[in-house]
Structure 1
Amino acid sequence: MKSKQKIKRKRVKARHQKPSHFGGGLKPFPAWGKLVAILGMTFASGLFLLVSVSAYFADYAGVTLGFNIPTYYFTVDYNSNGGSAVASEDVKVGESITEPTPPTRTGYDFASWHQQADLADTAWQFATNKMPRQNLTLHAKWTAKTYDITYNLDGGTGTGGNPTTYTYDIGVASFAPATGKTGHTFVGWEDENGNPVTSISKTEMGNKTLYARWTPNEYDITYELDGGDNDNSNPAKYTYDIGVSSFAPATGKVGHVFTRWEDENGKPVTSILKTETGNKTLYARWAPTYEITYVLDSGTNPQDNPTQYAYGTGVASFKPATKANNKFLGWYDHPTAGTKITEIPATATGTQTLYARWVAGYTVTFRNFDGTATVLDPVVVESGDSLTIPDAPVKANEYFLGWAEGPNQAPRPSTSGVVTPTSTLYTPSQTSGVATLNVPDQSYLGYKEKSEHELTNITSDTTLYAVYYKGLKATGLADSAKPKAQDFIWNNAIWRVVNMVERNTANTRLVVKVSALTAEEVINQLGFTLEDGADVPYKEATQENDLRVHFQSQDGATDTDEETYFFNGPSDDGYSRSRLKTIIDAYYNQLADQSAVQAVTLNTPTLTQYLTVDGTNGFIGTGSTYNNWRWPQDSTDSNRYRHYRDARFETTVGGTPQAFALSYGDIHGVLAVPTAPGNNNVRLLNFSGTNWNSLWLRSAGSIYWNAGYVNEGNLYYSGGVNQPLSVRPALYLSID
């Protein structure tokens, strides 16, 4: 840029102090240039001077010269040397230059401004340097940026002398490999995205992290077999960080048995650790073998007793032989005398002969329920000896209840439903998972229980048959041909599936508790004490734990209305406030596991609903109040039994999880009983052999003081609500 000179011209005048010398007037001073030269001064622009010139020019004695010095501006240019542009500026001569905002340049930091293009001079100081009387160019000086390099060695120990920083416009030409990771070979450097890194270019910027990548080393395994053959499964190589977990034995050396693998120092080798390195040589070690002969005396030797042994190994133990009606006493080294042999020590050599020794005895065999398979090894005992009875093997989702004396002797109900105990059941010392099952439950199974847990004075061969009961998750679909086949154990009680098909939702079954509720099963939830006596509403004490309930209101025993089914009139359902429901709720609330219980709606009718069947009022009586109603007693009346047949009162799935008393609708709907109640055998509701073979229904009976009930599988509709009957809760359960 060309310099720009701005001159402010001022009038210069001399004042004549002695006008006589100038003829009385002001005259121009002709010697300005000469005066400046004489003074040898540089004047700051814009100043007004009064100069006495008489000392320099005789002709102007007594004359003072007054004049203005002109103001000058020059241009400052900036050479950014590759950086961003900086605007030029006009600056007054002799003043400071305002420092501009530093330029920017990719990969560099700005350092300073210089007058010399080669930047060899001292940096321009804006605070002290002044604008000269000429144009000025300042040149930018830069410093290249430096960035860090970090190395992630992934278990290595050295970076190979690689740089820890790099500079922009220089970069890094190459990297040396990492070193020091045991059992691995360096593969290369990578960035955080897994991309290979071999250099850093001149134009790259930013800190860098390089990740060492390795591959585990592979080493050779050599086998020295000493006349034998190697197993094909033994590997020829191994890899660091994997190793070898085990080696198969060598085979094939005649007259010898393989003992172990060793290394070159004689140390046993059973594996190669993950952390080992280097090629390996394994040496097969052998020992001579010797024959074992068994003299059985008509007995049978187990197949897994060895026929050979090796020096250095021996035999740790022998299995017993078996012989009908004989007890095995052991293996001996002589037919009639000698020493009992239980092992062959590792230091033994030579052929060995073992003699089976016997004493007459009897065999106890343990078989499955139908006798088709052995479930435990048989035991032979001497005549008159005793045998502690073991537990049977554990079976998933089933409970071992004991050993029966005969096969297939779990009772099945006859046509009448009566169960007669036929076989003794030897119960285990602790019944697995169901130790709290009460005696009536197991009596129901039809067994004569034996409290002893051993066989005594054995004088003949004996076979015991394992008796299991299914758990909830083993029940599956019911088998209508074998009514008892769908009994199962849940919450330490036996339950029975009473419907043959799924109800409402998949795998949902209606079930009833096999044993009637006892006082012990409900007392902790009732909040009051049960009392003995035939007239007490809750308990009749023919036995200590009996529980039989009057189907009445909870309000007391003196109110006459409590002798009726519908306690509070046509809007009452007869069940919700009953002692029957109180007992069932108390039992349900103490169940440890309620997870399989399904929500239900009981559909329990009020009197108004109950008496209106198919739109017809089916009851007759002397008045319209609830304690006068009754159903027709004439067998020809078409209204008879309509309340029993009404499907509206069947329990349905969906509502509230709970236990409940069965209704006529439940029995008719799921068990397909006849269309009229009264001495109709329902085999699945026959609980002969249990504590009480009866149960209250929640349905109204034939007249206002009666309710429905079942006894020995027969249906009735004339149970007085103030009479005591047992309680069996029902549930809808989800069964796998």
Structure 2
Amino acid sequence: MKTRLKKLSALILMLGTVFVLSFPSIAHAADTGGTEHFELTVVENKESKSGAEIADLTIKNISGKTGTNVTFEADLPTIFHDKDMKKVTFKVGTLKAGESKTYQVSRKAAGTVATTPLPTTGNNATTALPTTGDMARPLVILVGLFLLASIATIGFRRFQGAKSLFAILLLLVGLGGVATVYAAETYHHRDEVRNHAVELAGTTYVFHLAGEGDFEEDNANTGDTGGDNGGSEVTNNFTITYYINGVKVTNLSLVYGYVAGEQATDLKTPTYEAEDFSGWYDNDTYTGDVITSIAKGATGDKVFYGKTTPKTYQVTFDSTGGEAVASATVNHGQTVSEPVAPTKDDAIPNVSSVPYGPAPHDFIFKGWYTEPDLTTPFDFETPMTENITLYAKWGLPITEAGLVNTDVAVASYADGKLGTPGDAVWFANAWFQILDEDMDDDASNGLQALVIKIEDIGQHKFHGSGVDYFDTSGTNGYDLSRTNGGVGQVIDTWYATNIASNPALVDRVQKVALDNPDYTAFSTGIIFNSNNGPFDFNNGPITWFCSNWHQDNRFATTLDASGNQQAFALSYGDIHRHMGVPEADSEADSNVSLLNFSSKPSYILLRSPGRSAQSAGSVNNGAMNDANVQYPVTVRPALSLLID
């Protein structure tokens, strides 16, 4: 029995001596606390189209050293549980400094958990990690002290010979030294994150994460041994530190370490919604070349500096022929100030004084729009996120009963409708009476008004030659007048001189079709006086009269995209259809107040046939009439204008 006790005492003595001699290195090798080595994160995978909850779990080596035998554990919330598993463990293996690996966890329809490794991590969040190894070292020390006391007691009782005791101690010191050297080269580290809350599909869940692995000591010989420095040990693992705008950053998705001699290390560039990043520099004055990577042969810890500047956008104002407006530069997310309204004029000096005096400007500004076709008004409360061009919309100055309104929208006029006495629009250096504010009664394509020039362009015969409205072939008289020096040619010449040569004006003139009937079309529906018609072309011109000439509501001017931009004389059809004048039973009842101008003679030539073969239509003192084709009558051209 004593022999067995002696052997057991000897064994305890040897083990205890080894532990005492090596417990500092053992404690170090078992260290799982101190500086954080792993960054452990969980984010929702929002790109999933499956409808199932999917989470991306990421482990990142932030120690600045290469970790081996790395494992990554995750206690999953109940949404991922099935009857067999509540924890998943990923065998990461080797994880270099700054490297990260991401694993995707999802719950299948069958109730099982699927895990998928991903090539990269997109997570930028940093989770603070607790230190979990601080209690290991004191515990080891206490155990060691206990064993040391036991060794001393057993040693002095068991070994009476000093030489034997000393020899055994030397042997144990040597073994402890070997253990110390080995333990000093590597150590094991573990980081944990408890109660990590993550929102998945709108609901918050809790994860428990842990990462652990083996790491080399800072003085371990992982590189070459220098020859001139006495054989001191060096490492090929180095850290990368970043400063942005003078502030050290650690929570961005960047590379925070590199291994020299393995391969070039690319530097990631942070991106910002509202700012531009300068790139990385090796100095805090941001001078020299931008650094994008660390060369394979580089060594040493690196520090890089970058800065941000607000993103700016250019707002360009296209005044579409008006006064130039300077562009503006606006920071991301800011609004642009509305500039002072520009002005716009045509090339004709504003000298007309009939009847209201000249307008201050030939066009009025009607706001800024986001596209050239001027369909969407720009809201100056809009935050800027890109370069933009704004386009000016222009209208024509319009009066309400003689009052010039250069800054009021059409819809604000007193009686709510244009086309009453006194309503006029300024165009081509002259005032035009508005006869119909919208010829097609469709405001969606703008107000395409029928207008007539208030100031006449002189007195002229309907025909420059010829005594009958129709010629012997039945050709319309107004068509004839456009080539024989008559009223049609006078109006065409005025248009060519005053409007056609000015693009800003031509853009306002709408295309129209003039329904000019030949004799056959005209005579259908006309009531001729007995024994005085119809026209007999076989026997030459015969005087004829019709009874309802002023009631003819046919042959009105129409908007027509295939028609012509032109000026023209009005017709009886325009008076009835566009101006709303009733077809009165008698000439005296046919009052046309909008065509009752003060200039004399008060006749206005129309393009319609009159009551006889030798007359053309007219208006005299606001009442419908006719005039001999060889009698000089006041001429006022009409137009279809886009007034708004």
TM-score by length of 1: 0.34
Larger radius of gyration between Structure 1 and Structure 2 = 1
Greater fraction helix: 2
